Amino acid sequence: MNRLLACWDSTLGKKAVMGATGLLMIAWVVLHVAGNLQAFRGAAAFNGYSGLLHGPLHEALILMRLVLLGCLLLHVTASLQLARRNRLARPEPYARTEPQAATMASRTIRLGGWVLLTFVVLHLLHLTTGQIHPDFVEADAYHNLVVGLAQPLAAAGYLVAMVSIGLHVYHGAWSSWRSLGLAQGSSRPLERPLAAALAVLVWLGFSLIPVAVLLGWLE
């Protein structure tokens, strides 16, 4: 127990926790994309999928939500604590810095984290509980989706958040693997074809829905 606490106390331990929780959340996000794309099969199929989750798979859904909440809490706690340590580690900034390897994704990952956290809260209030939805109908997920995303402001918010999640996955999927010590040696360690493919898949997969609603493909 002491060893685990000491591990959590270290910068490496916290980062490994961020990596493990991050990968779990990415795995879930891929399932979420697959689920969303059921909308293209029509209202009946999409509501059938939603009914499956809320009916026969209800207990699994609750368990999954608990696991996700736990992941999110650990991920955010570790990131806030690490960000504080990192800030303190360089009290006096350089007059000039010229990044040589850092990507846009790596440098905006904290900002992106805040964007995603805000998005998750709004998204749940919008399409899961319906408090900020204009016409929320319980058990009609397809209606909620199409009506909710028909508002240009909401759709724009989703599209911005999906850029954030794409960037987060681009850096996170790659770095999580490394923070868990799973990466094997490579002659070009900064390259990440898998993470890039995953990021594009998630970004495009999610963004397709609001775009399709705005273009009238889904109604």
Partner 1 sequence: MNLTLYVWRQASAASAGRLSRYEAADLSPDMSFLELLDVVNERLTRQGEAPIAFDHDCREGICGSCGLMINGVAHGPLKATATCQLHLRSFRDGATIYIEPWRARAFPVLRDLVVDRTAFDRIIAAGGFVGVSTGSAPDANSLPVPKTDADLAMDAAQCIGCGACVAACPNASAMLFTAAKVGHLALLPQGQPERMRRALGMVQQMDAEGFGGCTWHGECMEACPKEISIDWIARLYRDYIRASATRPERVAVEVAL
Asked if 75 touches partner 1 (CB under 8 A), the answer is no
Listed in sequence order, the residues at least 6 apart from 102 whose beta carbon sits closer than 8 Å to its beta carbon are: none
Asked if 100 touches partner 1 (CB under 8 A), the answer is yes
Tokens 């040696």 found at: 185
Distances (CA, A) of 186 to 106, 170, 178, 196: 20, 18, 12, 17
Nearest to 144 by CA among 121, 123, 160: 123
Q: Which of 99, 153, 193, 216 binds partner 1 (CB under 8 A)?
A: 99
Q: Tell me whether residue 81 is exposed, middle or buried, using C-beta atoms within 10 angstroms of its C-beta: 0 to 12, 13 to 18, 19 or more.
A: middle
Whether residue 203 contacts residue 166, with contact meaning beta carbons closer than 8 Å, is answered with yes
Find the part of the chain contacting partner 1 (CB under 8 A) among 26-34, 52-60, 64-72, 99-107: 99-107
Asked if 1 touches partner 1 (CB under 8 A), the answer is no
Asked if 89 touches partner 1 (CB under 8 A), the answer is yes
Asked if 54 touches partner 1 (CB under 8 A), the answer is no
Q: Which of 59, 91, 138, 153 binds partner 1 (CB under 8 A)?
A: 91
Find the part of the chain contacting partner 1 (CB under 8 A) among 22-30, 84-92, 158-166, 200-208: 84-92
Q: Can you tell me whether residue 133 is helix, strand or coil?
A: coil
Q: Which residues bind partner 1 (CB under 8 A)?
A: 3-4, 6-7, 9-16, 82, 85-86, 88-103, 106-107, 109, 171, 174-175, 178-186, 189-190
